[in-house]
Structure 1
């Protein structure tokens, strides 16, 4: 396979400095590809911090619309004609379409018209989110649309083996695994801060029970409350505090239910890393993740992680060795796993050391190499892939 530099275009409705797992992953992939000598053009909606005129030749900005229920995130408006004009003048070797909204769909349509290979990424379980926002009847329709969309790319990349199996069961085609990495130099136990812990009202022997992530319905945060109460009941002699890092529509409700918890809001970079490292336990009750980058960040920071046995946790945590797992949906098992970590100090110390040791080998460099190989593979001659992508209105159709 050729090793010549590629002209790659990445299309996404979210990108740094926006804070979410998809944006973080895409930022790492783009940075890694550019370090390897590839030219990467980015197509995304305009963000508030962008200048009026884009000065970067490798950045194409489109109009964005607010995403309901997700303040700070947006859909990208369809840009079919703009993309056709751009790619006729300067044709990419391959596209990576990271999101399935109007912007991603217009990129897929333009790619098919021009015969440009397109790889798609399944980054978010939007079809699972609908039930949490009072529109459960749309779940089937959205699943059909996602299958229709991804089956018209040369390849769809998924972040975990479990996700791959789930999509195969739903008749998604041509799936390949692209795992995630973690910056284990940024997220490091050495960033533990006694002064930060003191500001949380905690001393050296007290416990900081941490959660990092979006405070939203799909994150199953009711279990966070239940698990923390179980920890307090199991260890009444120990002082502990629940620390939540992140923001979202459920923040006000959680603050009302958890008056003693500390809400730190959004954090970035070294400050975020210090928050992780200054914790002791990490509770991750979500059941809707395609991966869950925060799990790797917590492991790299040397925390005792409690999660359900799926996505990133199922892939990287070995129960009793470097973390604690519960069967997906088993809430009592989740609480029991959390309490088990605190049964004796030596157990928690060993788990935390093993967590750091495991995560220290999960660099982004190898992930970027795999990503490049997938993009090159998509450029090879392919059998004809389902026609009719221009008929966007037929999103529920799954076979021709």
Structure 2
């Protein structure tokens, strides 16, 4: 089969959407399919237009250095797909490039699936524009309903979208590679660089350092932890528009910047407690990565936490801010409990298989392609 994947974000950018899309692309290639990737050019990259990849023009995303969105490219995509169209396309993002891909696919009769990765309606509230939440949700519904399927990572999100008149919503599970994220990658030298000994409690956050992540709650929780463990350290892995202010207000925090590949795995495994205070994730891959790394997680009871984190066994899945703080303090103060949670989390992640996710994704795209061919053959001449 020939598939095309269109995305506004892709590595070397580091975020959950980029890494998820890369995993899906690699999964399809490993299954023997031809995959054409369409994405914006990154700074310093040359243009590319071959069977494997088309890089289009893009612009920087305001307030997010290093991230791009693709400019409209309907004509370029129609030209690329006209002579030898893909059997199906996957559009991962709702930006101008994503809209262009859906328009081109519709005009060429190519079936499309979209991915619902980001709660832009929640972002409106976090950035001070709550009155635009309804507008953002309607805009996303129009985008996703122009495709033949909308892929979501959890049943909870699927039910939410269906209740808001999103059509053809399909759950595609997520997985984490336990050979990549592994507790054995814990590094004493790295911890020492953070000012932490073997018995020092290290809280860790991994992700975008941005207002929509509700980071003040993580700070409050850590300050409560310090009342009982004065030598505790808080390590931040990632970057974003809130980093400078957070560092200025908390000079004792350790900021490690963006980490990739083996370095990211080493940083994860070298922590003791993962604090993930976000309310706006569609899933939260980092929760699974923490569990696979043997680091108990404290997160809100939705997305990845609701799907995979058993409260009191792998960490804590909480309902409100006070519950988040209480769970963080309780787990931080009980070394034996953390060791038990670490082992249980690692064991649970061994049951997830990225290969199965690729197989399910392949089956869904193949179904769209078969359905479109059947409709075409049944149509009157």
Deviation at 1:262, TM superposition (A): 0.4
SS in 2 for 1:353: helix
1:283 and 1:49 map into 2 onto residues whose CA distance is 35
Residue equivalent to 2:5: 10
SS in 2 for 1:358: helix
SS in 2 for 1:231: helix
Residue equivalent to 1:266: 258
1:269 and 1:173 map into 2 onto residues whose CA distance is 36
Residue equivalent to 1:365: 355
SS in 1 for 2:9: coil
2:370 and 2:325 map into 1 onto residues whose CA distance is 49
Is 1:38 paired with 2:38? no
SS in 2 for 1:334: helix
CA contact (8 A) 2:292 2:349 kept: yes
1:323 and 1:155 map into 2 onto residues whose CA distance is 34
Deviation at 1:136, TM superposition (A): 2.9
Residue equivalent to 2:98: 104
1:76 and 1:91 map into 2 onto residues whose CA distance is 21
SS in 1 for 2:280: coil
Residue equivalent to 2:379: none
1:253 and 1:201 map into 2 onto residues whose CA distance is 22
Residue equivalent to 2:18: 23
Q: Which of 249, 252, 258 is the matching residue for 1:257?
A: 249
Q: Which of 128, 131, 139 is the matching residue for 1:137?
A: 131
Is 1:150 paired with 2:150? no
Paired residues, number: 374
Is the deviation greater in 108-117 or in 372-381?
Answer: 372-381
SS in 2 for 1:319: coil
Unaligned runs of 5+ in 2: 376-381
Cα deviation per residue 1:342-396 (whole Å; 9 max; x = unaligned)?
Answer: 3432211101100111112222111100100111121233699xxxxxxxxxxxx
Cα deviation per residue 1:116-168 (whole Å; 9 max; x = unaligned)?
Answer: 01111101111211222233332221211110111111110001111111111
Q: Which of 259, 263, 276 is the matching residue for 2:268?
A: 276
Is 1:90 paired with 2:84? yes
Is the deviation greater in 241-250 or in 40-49?
Answer: 40-49
Residue equivalent to 1:181: 175
Is 1:126 paired with 2:120? yes
Is 1:378 paired with 2:368? yes
> Which has a greater percent of helix?
2
SS in 1 for 2:139: helix
2:20 and 2:111 map into 1 onto residues whose CA distance is 21
Residue equivalent to 1:3: none
Is 1:61 paired with 2:51? no
Q: Which of 272, 280, 294 is the matching residue for 1:288?
A: 280
Deviation at 1:55, TM superposition (A): 6.2
2:155 and 2:63 map into 1 onto residues whose CA distance is 29
Q: Which of 42, 56, 59 is the matching residue for 1:47?
A: 42
Deviation at 1:256, TM superposition (A): 1.6
Q: TM-score, normalised by structure 1?
A: 0.91
Unaligned runs of 5+ in 1: 1-5, 385-400
Cα deviation per residue 1:276-302 (whole Å; 9 max; x = unaligned)?
Answer: 111100000000000111111100000
Residue equivalent to 1:391: none
Residue equivalent to 2:303: 311
Matches within 5 A, 1:313-328: 313-327=305-319
Is 1:212 paired with 2:206? yes
SS in 2 for 1:267: coil
1:50 and 1:57 map into 2 onto residues whose CA distance is 18
Q: TM-score, normalised by structure 2?
A: 0.95
2:120 and 2:58 map into 1 onto residues whose CA distance is 18
1:67 and 1:134 map into 2 onto residues whose CA distance is 18
2:44 and 2:13 map into 1 onto residues whose CA distance is 10
Residue equivalent to 2:109: 115
CA RMSD of aligned residues (A): 1.5
